[in-house]
């Protein structure tokens, strides 16, 4: 299976990163206008943190997705997957808590943050290995 990578994966991750970027910009506008009176105190901090991490990680995912040949295949896939999942879980949980939809997701937010940290480490290992098999 790993020998067939990257296959369609770079394309899929590029699309996901692009959609995440568009959603991030839309959420920034919504937060600044439609939710300006709602996002106060902890809600504002959570929304701002989610937005910053969202936009940083969708940009990082775009770069990762465009560079599969510079990395070990296994580590490249791990980095892209962890960054995608981590961004969705971490930022999604914070967004929902910020707008008051569900604070029940707050306990999983750290798992998303951990996945984002691991994605950066996986990327570093993959680039260090420099596209060598394995």
Q: Is residue 134 part of a domain?
A: no
Q: Structurally, how many domains does the chain consist of?
A: 1
Q: What is the pLDDT of residue 92?
A: 95
Q: Is residue 1 part of a domain?
A: no
pLDDT tens digits, 48-70:
999 999 999 999 999 999 999 99
Nearby residues of 5 by Cβ (< 8 Å), 6 or more positions away: 68, 73, 74, 76, 77
Q: Is residue 17 part of a domain?
A: yes
Q: What is the pLDDT of residue 1?
A: 40
Q: Is residue 79 part of a domain?
A: yes
Q: Is residue 62 part of a domain?
A: yes
Q: What is the pLDDT of residue 86?
A: 98
pTM: 0.89
Q: Is residue 73 part of a domain?
A: yes
Q: What is the pLDDT of residue 22?
A: 97
CB neighbours (10 Å) of residue 132?
A: 10
Q: Is residue 85 part of a domain?
A: yes
Q: Whole domain around residue 117: which residue ranges?
A: 7-129
- Mean pLDDT (the chain, rounded): 91
Query: What whole-number distance in Å separates Cα of residue 32 and Cα of residue 122?
Result: 34
Q: Is residue 13 part of a domain?
A: yes
Q: What is the pLDDT of residue 133?
A: 55
Q: What is the pLDDT of residue 7?
A: 82
């Amino acid at each position: 299976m790993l020998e067939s990578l990257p296959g369609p994966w770079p394309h899929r991750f590029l699309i996901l990163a692009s959609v995440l970027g568009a959603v991030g910009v839309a959420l920034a506008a919504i937060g600044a206008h439609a939710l300006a009176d709602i996002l106060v105190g902890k809600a504002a901090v959570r929304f701002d943190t989610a937005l910053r991490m969202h936009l940083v990680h969708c940009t990082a995912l775009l770069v990762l997705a465009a560079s599969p040949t510079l990395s070990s295949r296994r580590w490249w896939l791990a980095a892209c997957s962890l960054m995608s999942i981590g961004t969705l879980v971490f930022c999604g949980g914070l967004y929902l808590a910020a707008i008051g939809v569900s604070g029940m997701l707050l306990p999983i937010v750290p798992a998303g943050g951990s996945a984002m940290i691991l994605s950066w480490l996986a990327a570093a290992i993959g680039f260090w290995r420099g596209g060598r098999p394995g």
